[in-house]
Structure 1
Amino acid sequence: MRQADELAALLGRLVTLDGVHQTAIPRLALIRSSQPTEPMHGLHLPALCIIVQGRKQVMLGEQIYLYDRTHYLVVSVDLPIIGQVVEASTEEPYFSVRLDLDPVQLSALMLESKPNATKPNATKPGEGGHTGAGPGLAVNPAAPELLDAMLRLVRLLETPHDIAVLAPLAEREILYRLMNGEQAARLRQIATAESKLQQVNKAIGWIRRNYDKTFSIEVLASEASMSPSALHQHFKAVTAMSPLQYQKQLRLQEARRLILGAALDAASAGFRVGYESPSQFSREYRRLFGAPPLRDVARLRGASALEMVGA
């Protein structure tokens, strides 16, 4: 794939250190890893991710998505996932490009064009089709036209004076290619305020703002303008977990961040995110991350892979 080769060479010039690197182009990040990483938990925001060298796997619930330079990944709502770079080396580092998705731009583009509505989302049999709120994460083959547009966008980093005028045009083409590809239905749902996906997204937003508080499914359903049963059904279809499981993941990920970044002890971090029982917090932390808080954080300290989940 010529475009992937050119992108890999370009990232090799632009990014020499491992990690996630924000760029002068809004919403665009470049990612590098010179070795495979540990499985990393994190909240992945809506984005397009294209690998140009190496391989990565992402786990949402019990489903594992493996992708490489022949595929792209789209995340349509805020999702707690586990990400792991599985193929990388000093000689051939893992390189990827992440473009955060802007619902405002998607809405404007949808009004101006007629996206291809004939291609359903890539879902398993029995999962939500293009008319419902299917999984909020999908992997699809990367078309040459999409890679061409991404290559033009990233090239602008070598001519910064062109970014203000040309970057919006390249980003617009990327979104257009997505809206006419395998993810047409999912992108339309991101752009449509009354879609089931956006109703679930309202519930997700409410949980994110109130993750440290107890809540009832009735309150959450009212926030999403859905019945409790409909919310539970569509929420699980999108996120692969229930609202309470989603809240628990947010709580534990935030507690981990507080212990690692703010130097809080485990009990204080657990209390800060809404746990009243230190023993319950420790049990659930170990169940999610595979080790008790102090041992887990000791393993993570100094690991650049901590930020690799969203790339």
Structure 2
Amino acid sequence: MHSDFKSDQVVSDISRLAGSVSQLVPSDGDQITAIAGLSLHRRKAITAPMHCIYGLGIGVTLQGRKQAMIGDEILTYAPGQSMVTCVDLPVISHVSQASVAKPFLGMMLRFDSTMVMQVAERMQLSQRMRDDAFRPITVQALDAGVLHALRRLIDLLEEPLLLDTVAPLIKEEIVARLLSGAHAPQLLHVIAAGSPSQHIAKTVAWLKLNFRQALRMDDLAAQAHMSPSTFRQHFRSVTGMSPLQYQKQLRLQAARQLMLSQNVDASSAGGLVGYESASQFSREYSRLFGAPPQRDIKRIRL
């Protein structure tokens, strides 16, 4: 009886939050809010798969469904579920259920890793985590306490004078609740000092800043305090791909963004992200995005 009431309450709260997001985002699009790291999303139809990077944070679907593909794994999350990402990852995501009458509605909240670490330290959580079960993205039932905090965060958008003071406190509460719930083992893996996943997380952060440089596997493995073979194994288990594949996705997504936002031509974009061969750039771009650079950009702009 009590659990049914709680379930009904969560469904009701999700519906109310979906109504608030629908009002804040009245038409299709992604809205960056006045709260750092919080974005709101609306789609009236199923979308084509898009390559993007999920960062440290939580994603919640309030209406409709969404899918994310990491390597060969496909994750689906619907209302009543939360998706937490622990390491910056290139993923292919798309809205898999939406209509004009019932559009997809969702929200994403990114976290600062330093803040997550500070909250975990204040909670005196164990830093010794087994590393063999680490998953970079997990989908779990949406915790009622997290849902209430997200609701208060959205409501705070109507109180601009309190934003700077109260929003960080609510974000810390959300992190604390995640660290004491089903997502905790994965979040703790990333902040556990000395764990293989922590070393891989540092490598991923370095690659995001230095993807234009030539990749030397032995140097990356040495920085992570691992042998090259162990490093490759742990990198793949955390990200779902090899270091070279990860770098390639970062390069190609950066090139696509340059062509879209700054009208850079294809050959220049390839060189700017680290490709020495224009033909190799075009070949790998086509393999990832399904069309050569110019045709792909024209297709997006239509």
TM-score by structure 1 length?
0.88
Deviation (angstroms), 1:224: 2.2
Q: What secondary structure, in the 3-state scheme, does the structure 1 residue paired with 2:162 have?
A: helix
Match of 2:151 in 1: 151
Q: 1:30 aligns with which of 32, 37, 40?
A: 40
Deviation (angstroms), 1:116: 9.0
Amino acid in structure 2 at the alignment position of 1:99: L
Contact 1:131 1:185 in 2 (8 A): no
Amino acid in structure 2 at the alignment position of 1:54: G
Contact 1:153 1:167 in 2 (8 A): yes
Deviation (angstroms), 1:237: 0.4
Match of 2:137 in 1: 137
Contact 1:47 1:75 in 2 (8 A): yes
Match of 1:106 in 2: 116
Deviation (angstroms), 1:240: 0.5
Deviation (angstroms), 1:145: 2.0
Deviation (angstroms), 1:133: 6.7
Deviation (angstroms), 1:243: 0.4
- Residue 295, structure 1, aligned to residue 299, structure 2: no
Contact 2:60 2:83 in 1 (8 A): yes
Spell out, residue by residue over 1:247-306, the C-alpha distance to the aligned partner (whole angstroms, 9 max, x if none).
Answer: 11111111111222221222221122222222222111111111111111111116xxxx
Match of 2:5 in 1: none
Match of 1:10 in 2: 20
* Alpha-carbon distance between aligned partners in 2 of 1:276 and 1:163, rounded to the nearest angstrom: 47
Question: Structure 1: any 5+ residue segments left out of the alignment?
Answer: 118-128, 303-311
Amino acid in structure 2 at the alignment position of 1:76: C
* Alpha-carbon distance between aligned partners in 2 of 1:221 and 1:155, rounded to the nearest angstrom: 46
Amino acid in structure 2 at the alignment position of 1:168: P
- Residue 44, structure 1, aligned to residue 58, structure 2: no
Q: 1:116 to 1:94 in 2, by over 3 A?
A: farther
* Alpha-carbon distance between aligned partners in 2 of 1:230 and 1:280, rounded to the nearest angstrom: 29
* Alpha-carbon distance between aligned partners in 1 of 2:168 and 2:41, rounded to the nearest angstrom: 21
Written as runs of structure 1 = structure 2, the 5 A alignment for 1:1-311 is 1-115=11-125, 130-132=130-132, 134-301=134-301
Which deviates the most, 217-226 or 174-183?
A: 217-226
Q: What secondary structure, in the 3-state scheme, does the structure 1 residue paired with 2:74 have?
A: strand
* Alpha-carbon distance between aligned partners in 1 of 2:258 and 2:96, rounded to the nearest angstrom: 27
* Alpha-carbon distance between aligned partners in 2 of 1:62 and 1:99, rounded to the nearest angstrom: 25
Structure number with the bigger relative contact order (C-alpha 8 A, sep ≥ 6) is 1
* Alpha-carbon distance between aligned partners in 2 of 1:101 and 1:195, rounded to the nearest angstrom: 20
Spell out, residue by residue over 1:42-70, the C-alpha distance to the aligned partner (whole angstroms, 9 max, x if none).
Answer: 12211100111111100111111111112
Spell out, residue by residue over 1:77-98, the C-alpha distance to the aligned partner (whole angstroms, 9 max, x if none).
Answer: 1111111011122222211111
Deviation (angstroms), 1:114: 4.7
Contact 1:199 1:226 in 2 (8 A): no
Contact 1:106 1:190 in 2 (8 A): no
Deviation (angstroms), 1:130: 4.8
Output the aligned Cα RMSD.
1.9
Contact 1:206 1:223 in 2 (8 A): no
Q: 1:14 to 1:226 in 2, by over 3 A?
A: same
Spell out, residue by residue over 1:8-38, the C-alpha distance to the aligned partner (whole angstroms, 9 max, x if none).
Answer: 0111221223222221222211112222211
Q: 1:276 to 1:140 in 2, by over 3 A?
A: same
Which deviates the most, 33-42 or 204-213?
A: 204-213
Q: What secondary structure, in the 3-state scheme, does the structure 2 residue paired with 1:11 have?
A: helix
Q: 1:207 to 1:160 in 2, by over 3 A?
A: same
Q: 1:79 to 1:142 in 2, by over 3 A?
A: same
Amino acid in structure 1 at the alignment position of 2:58: L
Q: What secondary structure, in the 3-state scheme, does the structure 2 residue paired with 1:13 have?
A: helix
Contact 2:131 2:197 in 1 (8 A): no
* Alpha-carbon distance between aligned partners in 1 of 2:96 and 2:22, rounded to the nearest angstrom: 19
